[in-house]
Amino acid sequence: MKKALKKAFEQEKPDVLINLIGILVEEPSKGITFENIHYLIPKNLYTVAKEYGIKHIIHMSALGVSEETPSMYHHTKLLAEKFLMSLGIDYTIVRPSLIIGPEQRLFKDLDFFGKYFHIMAHPGILPYYFAPVDVRDVAFVFVKAIDDPNLKNKIIELCGKKPVSFDKLLKDSFKLLGRHAFVLRLPKPLMYVSGALVEKILEPPPFSKDQILMMYKNNVCQGQDPWPLIGKEPIPYEESLKWAIENYKSHLKHGLKS
């Protein structure tokens, strides 16, 4: 892998490296695991980048990364962050909450369940909150981080201004999709066991036990508001969701891959 990476750097001659690689579920038979994708690939990539002379790496992480996380998704994201920060070169680490955009997999899943089953399981009895952030705002931050010295050597927790419960997100999404489904609340331990069983039958699974573990706490920002430093206000949740789902449906109508 390192040889191929060196060849790519020599051909492209980049000044800045942006890493957006990530997965939500594993496909072990193909070598697609959290450890490989979130940690080992970035480790090799960043090692070669430093050898090549890259001075700044912008890394996509995830909100919820911490030493206390029970999920492998977050744990491997944290390992990559630590390795990047140990290299001694400039970095920008972006930790977004749920990203709202036309290619958000959640919309495809809701569209499917709302069309064919009219029922969907909700993990957890108590409300679970996200702080959805528009994909256009996330892209803005990555582009701005390339040249803005104020965003170097920082971990940026990226959230929309409005915390939204998973219930509300489902309800609003179903409405904009023109679908109807009954949301069945199930205890997280039951959903965890279900995810473990589904993983043994389907690859990739529609959901996994690790996704349930990711919900160990609300996915909302706790630290300092980064938007004044970024230099813009985030797109409001309602506007973002409407734009994303309208474009998702437009992609389907015109036969584009979503």
% the chain with pLDDT above 90: 90
Whole-angstrom distance, CA of residue 71 vs CA of residue 75: 6
Tokens in use for 71?
Answer: 């999920």
Average pLDDT estimate for 101-119: 93
- pLDDT tens-digit map of 214-248: 999 999 998 889 999 999 999 999 999 999 999 99
Report the SS3 class of residue 246: helix
**Residue 256 banded pLDDT, cuts 50, 70, 90:** low
The reply to whether 225 falls in a domain is yes
Q: Which residue has the higher pLDDT, 17 or 184?
A: 17
Whole-angstrom distance, CA of residue 37 vs CA of residue 23: 7
Whole-angstrom distance, CA of residue 230 vs CA of residue 97: 16
- pLDDT tens-digit map of 48-93: 999 999 999 999 999 999 999 999 999 999 999 999 999 999 999 9
The reply to whether 47 falls in a domain is yes
The reply to whether 162 falls in a domain is yes
pLDDT of 255 over the 80 cut: no
Whether the Cβ atoms of residue 67 and residue 59 lie closer than 8 Å to each other: no
Residues 6+ apart with CB under 8 A from 59: 19, 42, 80, 81, 84, 91, 92, 93, 94
Nearest to 169 by CA among 134, 128, 137: 128
Q: Which residue has the higher pLDDT, 122 or 1?
A: 122
217: domain CATH number? Answer: 3.40.50.720
pLDDT of 258 over the 60 cut: no
**Residue 257 banded pLDDT, cuts 50, 70, 90:** low
Q: How far is CA 88 from the centre of its chain?
A: 26
Q: Which residue has the higher pLDDT, 76 or 252?
A: 76
Q: What is the pLDDT of residue 1?
A: 80
Let me know how long the chain is.
258
The reply to whether 178 falls in a domain is yes
pTM above 0.75, yes or no: yes
Q: Which domain holds residue 213?
A: 2-253
The reply to whether 173 falls in a domain is yes
Sheet of 90-96: strands edge to edge? 16-19, 56-60, 90-96, 154-158
The reply to whether 258 falls in a domain is no
The reply to whether 246 falls in a domain is yes
Count Cα atoms within 13 angstroms, Cβ side, for 147. Answer: 3
- pLDDT tens-digit map of 19-36: 999 999 999 999 999 999
Q: How many domains does the chain have?
A: 1
- pLDDT tens-digit map of 128-162: 999 999 999 999 999 999 999 999 999 999 999 99
pLDDT of 47 over the 50 cut: yes
- pLDDT tens-digit map of 190-214: 999 999 999 999 998 988 999 999 9
How far apart, in Å, are the Cα atoms of 234 and each of 140, 184, 227?
10, 32, 7
Q: What is the pLDDT of residue 208?
A: 94
